[in-house]
Amino acid sequence: MYKRMSAVLFPLTLILLIGALVWGYQENQEKNAVLLKAENQYQRSFHDLSYHVERLHGELGNVLAVSSTSDGMHRKFLTNVWRITSEAQNEINQLPLTLLPFSKTEEFLSKISNFSYKAAVRDYTTKPLTDGEMKNLMALYKNSGEISKDLQDVQNKVITNHLRWMDVESALATEKKAEDNTIIDGFKTVDKRVSAYPELDWGPSVASVYDKRSVRKLNGPPVSQDDIHRKALKYADPGSGAKVHVTENGKGTEWETYTATVSGEKETVSMDFTKKGGLLISYNNNREVGAPKVSMEDAAVKAGEFLKRKGYPDMTPVSADRYGNMGNFTFVTKQNGVLIYPEKITVRCGLDTGDTTGFQSSDYVNEHQTSREIAKPGMSIAKARKKLNPDFREIYNRQALIENDDGEKVLTYEFGGRINGSQYRIYLNADSGIEESVEEIRTASGAQKQ
């Protein structure tokens, strides 16, 4: 009997063992294939990064080598700098550096990219490269050469010692012997070198990209939780018997705020206020919105009335979008007939009643000025109109103050109209007539006709 069982079980066990070995071998092969593919990806990205930083150094040298009046060559070389820097940034993102301090180098490349792009696309007849920008290019040329040399040193060690990026990933993930890894040490050296470079004056166009908006920059004294308690009841207007709960956020940070929740019999409203000055930056009514019964035009009117009641009297609707049973409206300040786009408030309304369910006013809070000095246009609207595409069918026009790509507040003529089957807003500089901005809009209400 045992012989018969052995005769059956032994071959079966042998088959299972062989199957397990084959399965394990296949799994190991697949794992090795995945690791090899990842290693090849890392190696390619690293070597491409070293190559592109060297190319970046060369292109910056080309900008400096040509005459200061060679606008066409400056544009060409700066465009190449922007393209090469963008590729280097992409290659950094493909390397396992998330746990490694390399932020200074990434920020350095980002600023070069923004600087070169904005310098390449501008009109050199009115804004040639300044002496300060040429000094910046000299500094960038020197710095990029040093970074390139450091990366090439790491590259030589990787090739000579057959170093693997998978070991870097493992060292960073496990935090074991990460300080002894040649590649990690090399990247730390690069980042340390970059952090020691003096900050360059990139100008307002680049600085505006990195300008961190902070409530600490606001005017006004700090307010207490009791002050916010009173403000919350005023804004929510919940009636008698409402409960108010106030919490402080971000204490000791750049964004010190209060959140107030007002619970009434029917609705709960939450609001965020700045600690400095006690300014309302967001409002949210959590009521359930029913089926739409109110038009977008009527909802826009009610949104404007809501803003007036809450202390924003001179607001004009400039755009509207509908999402299901909700309408979103953008309002801006108007001063002496000029729309102030930086002073923006976004209002959300339920289309069942048209009542406001929320709004966001952080842009308004940060940009609002009681009285702005707005210069008169340097050219007539008739002269500016001649700068438009002849096929553009104008629907309306008005003056608007906007923030351009250089982070500057500029007075423009805003032309709304249609071309190629779509509706657009085109903003022409009121002094020079150049296009400051172009945006496609959707016609959801009559807001743009204000």
pLDDT at res. 194: 87
Q: Which two tokens stand for residue 71?
A: 């606008």
DSSP 283-308: EEE-PPP-S--S-HHHHHHHHHHHHH
Q: What is the mean pLDDT of residues 332-357?
A: 92
What's the Cα-to-Cα distance from 441 to each of 159, 421, 434, rounded to whole Å? Answer: 54, 12, 20
Higher pLDDT, 332 or 243: 332
Provide the angle, in degrees to the nearest 10, between the axes of the packed helices 2-65 and 131-160: 150
* Ordered alpha helix ranges (H), 322-447: 362-367, 381-385
Residue 333's contacts (CB-CB under 8 Å, 6 or more residues apart) are 314, 315, 316, 339, 340, 343, 364, 368
Q: Which two tokens stand for residue 28?
A: 């190991």
Distance CA(62)–CA(76), nearest Å, equals 10
Residue range 381-449, CATH number: 3.10.450
Higher pLDDT, 16 or 156: 156
For residue 40, pLDDT beyond 90: no
For residue 35, pLDDT beyond 70: no
Residues 267-313 have pLDDT tens digits of 888 989 988 888 888 989 888 888 989 999 999 999 999 998 888 88
Instruction: State phi, psi for 339 to the nearest 5 degrees.
Output: -80, 130
Q: What is the mean pLDDT of residues 172-189?
A: 67
For residue 375, pLDDT beyond 80: yes
DSSP 34-61: HHHHHHHHHHHHHHHHHHHHHHHHHHHH
Residues 59-111 have pLDDT tens digits of 999 988 887 777 788 888 889 999 999 899 888 888 877 656 677 888 888 88
Residue 434's contacts (CB-CB under 8 Å, 6 or more residues apart) are 123, 387, 428
What's the Cα-to-Cα distance from 46 to each of 39, 95, 309, rounded to whole Å? Answer: 11, 7, 59
Confidence of residue 29 (pLDDT cuts 50, 70, 90): low
Higher pLDDT, 404 or 217: 404
Distance CA(312)–CA(345), nearest Å, equals 9
pLDDT at res. 446: 40
How many other C-beta atoms can be found within 10 angstroms of the C-beta atom of residue 120?
18
Distance CA(318)–CA(367), nearest Å, equals 17
How many other C-beta atoms can be found within 10 angstroms of the C-beta atom of residue 55?
19
pLDDT at res. 211: 58
Distance CA(108)–CA(192), nearest Å, equals 12
Q: Which of 75-84, 163-172, 262-271 has the highest mean pLDDT?
A: 75-84
Residues 183-213 have pLDDT tens digits of 778 888 888 888 888 887 777 666 665 555 5
Q: Which uninterrupted H or E stretch holds 268?
A: strand 268-274
Q: What is the mean pLDDT of residues 240-252?
A: 82
- What mean pLDDT is reported for the chain? 82
Confidence of residue 20 (pLDDT cuts 50, 70, 90): low
Higher pLDDT, 178 or 111: 111
Q: Is 347 exposed, middle or buried (CB count within 10 Å of its CB: 0-12, 13-18, 19+)?
A: buried
For residue 347, pLDDT beyond 90: yes
Beta bridge pairs of residue 282: 272, 360
pLDDT at res. 179: 46
What's the Cα-to-Cα distance from 98 to each of 95, 102, 224, rounded to whole Å? Answer: 8, 8, 40
Percent of the chain with pLDDT over 90: 30
Rounded CA Rg of the chain: 31
Higher pLDDT, 177 or 166: 166
Confidence of residue 43 (pLDDT cuts 50, 70, 90): confident
For residue 247, pLDDT beyond 80: yes
pLDDT at res. 445: 42
Are the C-beta atoms of 339 and 398 separated by less than 8 Å? yes
pLDDT at res. 90: 87
**What are the residue ranges spanned by the domains of the chain?**
29-210, 225-367, 381-449
For residue 45, pLDDT beyond 60: yes
Q: Tell me how many degrees the CA angle 373-379-384 measures, rounded to the nearest 5.
A: 120
pLDDT at res. 178: 47
For residue 219, pLDDT beyond 70: no
Are the C-beta atoms of 418 and 424 separated by less than 8 Å? yes
pLDDT at res. 312: 85
Q: What is the mean pLDDT of residues 9-38?
A: 62
Q: Which of 106-120, 149-163, 378-392 has the highest mean pLDDT?
A: 378-392
pLDDT at res. 448: 42
Distance CA(152)–CA(171), nearest Å, equals 22
Q: Which uninterrupted H or E stretch holds 139?
A: helix 131-160
Half-sphere exposure in the Cβ direction for 216 (13 Å, CA): 9
pLDDT at res. 339: 94
